[in-house]
Structure 1
Amino acid sequence: MTALPASIDLLIPESDAAKQEGVEQQKIRAAQAGDMAAFEWIVQQHEERLFGFCCRWLRCVEDAREVCQDAFVRAWQALPEFEGRARLSTWLYQIALNLCRDRAKTRASRQRDNTTLLDEEDGGLFCPKQSPDATAEWRSEMQKLARGLAVLPEKLRVVLMLTTMEGLSHEECAEVLNCSVRGVEGRVYRARQLLMQWWDEEQ
């Protein structure tokens, strides 16, 4: 069976995680008290990853920008009720996922010509600087991967995106999807099996 591209297993690295988490908690408390500058700091820390997730989910850069902006507006409005039981990033993914689902439902009649894959718009968000040949090969793989993800049922697609492309743990993914960790594990396994089967058929 052909292996999937290495990119699907890359997790976004965290640097000085403990220190960063402590600073974030301070910013959250300040933002909950109405400090807009603190909330702007939060946005800066999370907007790139959240935008990338929205792009991969919606496969349309324009929609992703609007949904990402809406997600932070919703977050600002709901932040006073945020109790910190889940990580802030997990909570933000929940908001973004719900908005992505709503947007996908309302755009069913949109012309395909108006849809732009993120890797066509701005490959730099996902791919480090490489040679032209390597970049072309990477983009080809990412376009193929995007097509493969698109054929998966939604509940399998989202769990694979959150765990392998967004770097969430199975516990965090379970919180985002409001399901059990065991449920996440089963969906990840099934999603990988279907994606590898599709990948082989495309070879």
Structure 2
Amino acid sequence: MAEAHERVLIEAAQAGDLDAFEVLVRRHQGRVYRLALRMLASASDAEDVAQETFVQAWRSIGRFRGSSSLGTWLYRIATNRCLDILAAHRPTETLDAELGGRDADPVTTLAQRERLRSVVAGLHALSGEQRAALVLREFEGLRYDRIAEVLGITVPAVKGRIHRARLALLATLGEHR
């Protein structure tokens, strides 16, 4: 039912209905933003990527044929933009904001911050391609076949990237202990 309704919205957007496209944006903006945030570790860069993703999607919606889901198509646009940013520079902000404002004892908060810093450092040590595959699998919960669609590679290549990313992340986390 939801897929059929989304198809109707896509067709309306392809016919130029901005209101229908806005409904699609509201449905997918949270996931696109979270993907970008996890890949870039920068809230401002993630907001920019999310906005750019939907601008590009609006411009290209007429070419969307539905061979993959709209979510997969949007993830691909966002992932490609994130990879462009990662190739151009390293993000400067961290995910420390996720821990702010919690009512936990200072020792627990400090330990959480240190773990988060270690994970962020480990993610930054990965290549953009490895980071994209790992984030899509571990944080977004995508299946290997969907990751392959998003990244435009084969399923065995996805598995290889994720395996190498996990090994590199474990090595980095071991160094930060």
Size of the alignment, in residue pairs?
Answer: 175
| Counterpart-to-counterpart distance in 2, 1:202 and 1:162 | 24
Q: 1:160 aligns with which of 131, 134, 147?
A: 134
Q: TM-score, normalised by structure 1?
A: 0.76
Q: Deviations over 1:111-141 (max 9, x none)?
A: x7xx322x334x28xxxx9652466644443
| Counterpart-to-counterpart distance in 2, 1:151 and 1:174 | 22
Unmatched segments (≥5 aa) in structure 1 = 1-18
State whether structure 2 residue 167 is matched by structure 1 residue 193: yes
C-alpha distance 47-154 of structure 1, shift in aligned 2 (>3 A): same
Q: TM-score, normalised by structure 2?
A: 0.86
What corresponds to 1:120 in structure 2?
A: 96
Q: Taking every aligned residue pair, what percent have the same amino acid on both sides?
A: 36
| Counterpart-to-counterpart distance in 2, 1:21 and 1:142 | 36
- Using CA pairs under 8 Å that are at least 6 residues apart, name the structure with larger relative contact order, 1 or 2: 1
Offset at residue 100 of structure 1 (A) = 1.8
Moved more, 140-149 or 155-164: 140-149
C-alpha distance 106-183 of structure 1, shift in aligned 2 (>3 A): closer
Helix, strand or coil at the partner of 1:38: helix
Q: 2:104 aligns with which of 119, 132, 136?
A: 132
**RMSD of aligned residue pairs (Cα, Å):** 2.4
What corresponds to 1:60 in structure 2?
A: 42
Unmatched segments (≥5 aa) in structure 2 = none
C-alpha distance 138-42 of structure 1, shift in aligned 2 (>3 A): farther
Offset at residue 147 of structure 1 (A) = 0.9
C-alpha distance 107-198 of structure 1, shift in aligned 2 (>3 A): closer
